[in-house]
A and B are shown apart, each in its own frame.
Chain A
Amino acid sequence: MNWIAIAVTFKLALLTAAVLLVVGLPIAYWLTFSKRRWKFIVESVVALPLVLPPTVLGFYILVAIGPHSPVGRFYSDVVGHPLPFTFEGLLLASILYSLPFAVQPFAAAFAQVDHRLIEASWTLGVSKFKTFFRLIVPLSTAGLITGAVLSFAHTLGEFGVVLMVGGNIEGETRTVSIDIYDEVQALNYAGAAKTALLLLAVSYGVLLLVYAMNRKVWAIWPQR
């Protein structure tokens, strides 16, 4: 097995989930509680990676961060090298690609918080910001974990976006799914099977965790 590719993949998935846990919260909060009429436009943008082919998404990200775009030029001026075909570029693409997988469970959890509890918090003098962290987040833990785990699992298996934005650089952007593809191209089915089985086992384990948690089978939690 290609342990370097496995390490890159897990590093990418963990960082993606961690960043989305921070970036996804305010987006999900706004989508849940905003009363703006044009909210649906943002909702559609966030959900776009669900329906767009990964190659299309990857293509636009590649163009947007490439040396001919203002963002790409700014990045290479500051950091010293261009963003495409680096781990950082791949991370940015993964974050955008997995955004709905984090934001939708977050928003669903926030929407389930009884609004009367939120109002009670406000009348006790607690600001909207503090109410979010002291009340809404503790009441939404299952949704937050689900979102983080799903974006982790989704990043583990991404292929098209990685190929478009990351390329295939060993130790930098070569992930497990690319490795499996290469093994099959080289007719090394035994090598591909081992790596594929690992990915299958991890993905299945992660989904078991998510579904088990949403059914509250962990009787150690107080609501039981």
Chain B
Amino acid sequence: MAATLTVDCRKTFPGRFTAAAQLDLPLDPPRVLILFGPSGSGKTTLLRCLAGLEWPDEGRIQFGSTTWIDVAANIRLSPQARWIGYMPQDYALFPTHTVTGNIEYGLSDLPTAARQERVRELLALLQLQGLEQAKPAQLSGGQQQRVALARAIARRPQLLLLDEPLSALDAPTRAKLSGELRALLTQLAIPAIVVTHDWAEALTLGDVIAVMGAGQVLQVGVPQDVFSRPANAEVAKIVGIETVVRGHVVTNDNGLATVSVKGTTLKGLGADVSGSAVYVCIRAEDVLLEQAGSGITSARNHLSGLVTEILPQGVLVTVTVDCGFPLRAMITRGAREDLGLERGSTVVAAIKAGAVHLVPRSG
């Protein structure tokens, strides 16, 4: 049987909430699991249970053949004994130590020469050369993030746990570093669990995503599938992005990108996109539906297609239009009646370029 990380545990914070998680992550080949959800959904609690910094009230966590915790059998493996790399949200760099001191902190068992060699490797890998003697307070946010990553991976951990690895950064740096982080995770080939509440990060970084809400794991799957086919209304509300399709950037003119999706051409904002392979992400509420042949609008994208599905949801209706790819639009019941929409109707979907989000993907 292939090695698996099995989590089945529960922790109650009296008077606040109960976090319960059940999931399995195959460890071979190494994958990146995203814990996705709004704040307070229990993502960080689960990550801390995995790190050994929080003890569940019941249940067990099994990593391959090692039991990390089994409350019933009274087994509790300390964080020191788990051989993990953990990066908390604000990095928790040691202020009294230099960049080198931080990176080699967990390497004191190595002989001096091997330790120095490993630090040199990591400084090169994370482009930190020249900053060896700097203290954390002298570094930019992006540099601090890289030092924290270098420190977490220095011991070659068997599992990497990253809590909101990019959230402390400003938006342009975040976009740049999320691509770098994905490349690094692929290169390291260590199973990783990444907590985030940002769907673009989830798509860029994750092989598998677990959507969490109110302390529960609600759906597990490939990010693109989970985003475009949420298991229930709760997941749909949490992910909040109804159309996710693969596309290729054809041209990128000063940040206004032309993208090809299964033969259909779309315009979207791609200032942060460097490669050609992207996910095209569109929220249903950003899609306008109009009758074919109406006038010119400011929207850059007008896609004509057939209505394939109509799902009433309260006062709103989710309409799926086949424009070469399934596009979801959210309109009111009244609008549906005025347009006379039924399955098989022809309709034009209008989307502003600014509502077409392009997220880089690998391959």
Contacts and interface: CB of A to CB of B under 8 A. Distances in A.
Interface of A: 114, 116-117, 119-127, 130, 134-135, 138-139, 222-223
B90 A116 contact: yes
A134 B101 CA distance: 11
Contact of B95 (A119, A123, A134, A223): A223
- Listed from nearest, the 7 A-B pairs whose CB atoms lie closest are A124-B106, A123-B86, A120-B92, A116-B92, A122-B79, A138-B96, A123-B79
B135 A122 contact: no
Contact of B83 (A120, A122, A125): A125
5 contacts: A119-B79, A123-B79, A124-B155, A135-B94, A139-B95
A119 B96 contact: no
Given A123-B82, A125-B80, A223-B95, 16 more contacts: A117-B95, A119-B53, A120-B86, A120-B151, A122-B52, A122-B78, A123-B52, A123-B53, A123-B80, A125-B109, A125-B155, A126-B105, A135-B94, A139-B95, A139-B96, A222-B135
Contacts of B96: 135, 138-139
A94 to B, nearest CB: 32
B125 interface: no
A117 B106 contact: no
Given A124-B151, A126-B105, A126-B106, A117 B94 contact: yes
Interface string B51-87: 1110000000000000000000000001110111110
B142 interface: no
Chain B, interface residues (CB within 8 Å), range: 20 to 34
A125 B156 CA distance: 12
Contact of B105 (A124, A139, A223): A124
A127 B80 contact: yes
Mostly helix, strand, loop or mixed at chain A's interface?
A: helix
A116 B154 CA distance: 19
A125 B106 contact: yes
B88 interface: yes
B232 interface: no
A139 B155 CA distance: 24
Nearest to A116: B92
Contacts of B109: 125
A126 B109 CA distance: 10
B86 A121 contact: no
B53 A126 contact: no
Contacts of A120: 86, 88, 92, 94, 151
A84 B287 CA distance: 91
B106 A116 contact: no
B51 A123 contact: yes
A122 B80 contact: yes
Contacts of A223: 95, 137
B157 to A, nearest CB: 9
B140 interface: no
B200 to A, nearest CB: 26
B240 to A, nearest CB: 30
Indicate the member of B86, B88, B105 with the most A CB atoms within 10 Å.
B105
A69 B53 CA distance: 47
A223 B90 CA distance: 18
Nearest to B82: A123
Interface in B87-138: 88, 90, 92, 94-96, 105-106, 108-109, 135, 137
Contacts of A124: 105-106, 151, 154-155
A223 B52 CA distance: 31
Indicate the member of A117, A119, A130 with the most B CB atoms within 10 Å.
A119
A139 B92 CA distance: 13
Nearest to B155: A125
A160 B195 CA distance: 61
Contacts of A114: 92
A138 B105 CA distance: 14
A154 B95 CA distance: 32
A114 B53 CA distance: 14
Given A119-B79, A223-B137, A126 B108 contact: yes
B103 to A, nearest CB: 10
Indicate the member of B51, B80, B135, B155 with the most A CB atoms within 10 Å.
B80
